[in-house]
Amino acid sequence: MKNTTTFFALCLFTVFTVSAQVGIGTTDPQESLHIAGNGSTIRVEGLNSENNNKNLGGTSKYNVLVDANGTLSLGDLSGEVVSESGISSPVVVQTTANSGLNSAELYQKNFTLTQRALVVITYYISIDFDGYDGIAKIDDGRAKIAHNYFYLGDGSTANTSKAYGMTSSVYSNSNCDTATGYVYNSRSTTISLEAGTYSIHLNGAVFGGDLTADAAFRATFGDLDRIDIQAIYL
């Protein structure tokens, strides 16, 4: 009886050991589930267009993600997150009285990512240069610099330890007592971000050389502007 019991236990152990690896199209599975053949596929009906609203059907392909528990799901479609004007009304930024550097936040734009993504942030913004008082036109021939850049925030507060998308324009005029028309700053930046809520804090800065009051000026940002945020979900 003891020998019979031992033999039965060995048989069970052998069956469970073998069944731990299942082969389809192969008699020598190398993994827990091994599907052999050049054209082998797997169908999960919970991910098809009939059962999953993230699957839009047609001939398009959709990314399948795996979480920390090994659960499979369809990822969100990459595409546009924001495309609109960021400034409700133009913002004036003056240099200091002696033409030193001065800056101000022009707008904040929030966005939410549902999963990890490469985020492409593109902005463009118009700049109108004027004298410090906003009345006199610039005619001193000195270079006037306007910077734009943005900070990344958590949906409310900017993290000012790192600036992104810095770009600058230089303006000067000495041939006449008036000048009209816009100058534009534009920049595109790609950042890798995890799922969550974020904010873009676009800033404008002006600098006249930190020389004298004669070199001071103002810039009006955002008579025309645009911000586009695209998410490439990973």
Helix, strand, or coil (residue 31): coil
Q: What is the pLDDT of residue 12?
A: 47
What's the pTM value of the predicted model, to 2 decimals? 0.77
Per-position DSSP letters for 139-194, written without gaps between them: -S---EEEEEEEEEESSSSEEEEEEEEEEEEEE---SSS---S-EEEEEEEEEEE-
Structure-token pair, residue 204: 């404008």
Structure-token pair, residue 105: 């936040």
Task: Indicate the residue type of 109.
Answer: K
- pLDDT tens-place values along the chain, 234 residues long: 555 555 555 454 454 455 578 888 898 888 888 989 888 888 888 889 889 888 888 888 888 888 888 888 888 888 899 999 999 999 999 999 999 999 999 999 999 999 999 999 999 999 999 999 998 888 888 899 999 999 999 999 999 999 999 999 999 888 665 556 789 999 999 999 999 999 999 999 999 999 889 899 999 999 999 999 999 988
Q: What is the pLDDT of residue 140?
A: 86
Pick the CATH number of 79-233 from 2.40.50, 2.60.40, 3.20.20, 2.60.120: 2.60.120
Domain with CATH 2.60.120 in the chain: 79-233
The four Cα atoms 7, 8, 11, 15 give a dihedral, to 10 degrees, of: -170
Q: What is the pLDDT of residue 215?
A: 92
Q: What is the pLDDT of residue 200?
A: 98
